[in-house]
Structure 1
């Protein structure tokens, strides 16, 4: 009787180690030195295109793959770049370009991360697009376990 290796499929609970790099080779995320990422395939925790790359892999398998922007964080949306009058900012904020801030959406009350991208005398321009929008992402993945 042969030993059946478990394969990644929809509904599998997987643990993976991964390293994510941009096209210039710089790292944007990694589980190296940390606990593996655990998620249910098809559970919506990672990009569907990322999951698709794992289907059929077995414990111990390693794979490298690339996700285009449309399969990852998407493309920048112009409506997420807004100019805010300085008088509408918190009094204790000393804004500078590159600063990460949290903004509260009026309609939903949801907190979103944004980056200050421009300053003028009377206003601040913020970008609430995901920092990895417009980016092609490269991944090196190792399957640690499958349940």
Structure 2
């Protein structure tokens, strides 16, 4: 059964959400995991890609689009609703739970303090809790340490 983590940031800034997702990816791949980041649309996907590339210049995070040929990159980005062969770690930045979330060993959601994100987070928490998924939450202060 998919283990679920909600990382609750104190910020309401979308860039902080993307920066945290980037650091979460870095930690996961440093632990030998493969990550799929799911976004709502191509604009959000482009913002994630920029953060993965530019957030920490000293730390290269190899990624590809989920529909591109897999050349061994540990991070894939998706906005199409297709996860391909991924099943390890899912970071969902989507307003709706991706239909394929239960294929993953772990799923993380990064939560910021905006009405829209909080509303869909509550829906996801309820849906997952009612179905017995193991849920952990991590309330993070200003440092946003992973």
Shorter-normalised TM range = under 0.3
Q: Which has the larger radius of gyration?
A: 1
Higher percent of residues as helix: 2
Please report the TM-score for the alignment, with normalisation by the length of structure 1.
0.23
Which one scores higher on RCO, CA 8 angstroms, separation ≥ 6?
2
Please report the TM-score for the alignment, with normalisation by the length of structure 2.
0.23
